[in-house]
Amino acid sequence: MRMLKLIILGSLLAMAATGAMAQTVLPSPNALGLYFDSEATANDLTLGSPTAVDVYLILTNPTVAFISAWEAKVTIATGGAITNLVLPIGSTAVATGPDDFAAAMSEPMPGNALTKLAVFTVAATAEQNTFLYLAAVDNPSVASDLPALQLTDGSWHAVPVSSGDVGTPVATINSSTPNESSSWGTVKSLFR
């Protein structure tokens, strides 16, 4: 049994060293998500005490070359509130909450594998499960329940959320997102 534990530990350490444990989440092209790191590897966070955490709004795997503006409703269900918004240099806030957020860029922003659109500071409690959702703003620029991006030609396009559904959280604190797999079979499959 001790040998099995050593093999598992060694495998986990080797995977961590190669980056296999911290894979970027690329759910689908043009998916907008909220992540607790700037590399889009963590959409679940466990807190031991109340604290403020940074949450990155990231467009993953965009198929567009440039973005001129974006808009999204960020809803936090229980246990948290947005206390600050930081935008990339050259971006101007058009809507700053409490739920609807939007920004326009003075120069078009290139669409990279991980296009960071904003950083929210969320004051979170450690006592409650907190669920973060993305959806369309109250008066969207495109008829959809999804967040939207404006391209350099001025056209607005709805983009999917990383959870696949606006009714499903894209990130959680002290819980896990529904698309996170935590079964023993999944763990075992890492060693096949």
Per-residue pLDDT of 85-112, as tens digits, reads 999 999 999 999 899 999 999 999 999 8
- In a domain? residue 49: yes
- In a domain? residue 6: no
Q: How many domains, the chain?
A: 1
Q: For every residue of the chain, which 3-state class applies, written as one string? A: CHHHHHHHHHHHHHHHHHCCCCCCCCCCCCEEEEECCCCCCCCEECCCCCEEEEEEEEEECCCCCEEEEEEEEEEEECCEEEEEEECCCCEEEEEECCCEEEEEEEEEEECCCEEEEEEEEEEECCCCCEEEEEECCCCCCCCCCCCEEECCCCCEEECCECCCCCCCCCEEECCCCCCCCCCHHHHHHCCC
pTM over 0.75? The answer is: yes
- In a domain? residue 187: no
Report whether pLDDT(3) > 70: no
Asked if 130 and 161 count as a contact pair (C-beta separation under 8 A), the reply is no
Report whether pLDDT(63) > 50: yes
Give the model confidence (pLDDT) of 16-61 as tens digits.
Answer: 333 334 444 555 688 999 999 999 999 999 998 989 999 999 999 9
- In a domain? residue 8: no
Mean pLDDT over 143-161 rounds to 96
Q: What rounded mean pLDDT belongs to the chain? A: 82
Asked if 156 and 149 count as a contact pair (C-beta separation under 8 A), the reply is yes
- In a domain? residue 164: yes
Residue 84 pLDDT class (50, 70, 90 cuts): very high
Mean pLDDT over 129-150 rounds to 96
CATH number of the domain at 102, please.
2.60.40.680
- In a domain? residue 183: no
Q: What is each CA distance from 27 to 58, 105, 112, in whole angstroms? A: 12, 25, 15
Q: What percent of the chain has pLDDT over 70?
A: 77
Residue 80 pLDDT class (50, 70, 90 cuts): confident
- In a domain? residue 181: no
Query: Which domain, by its residues, includes 132?
Result: 24-176
- In a domain? residue 152: yes
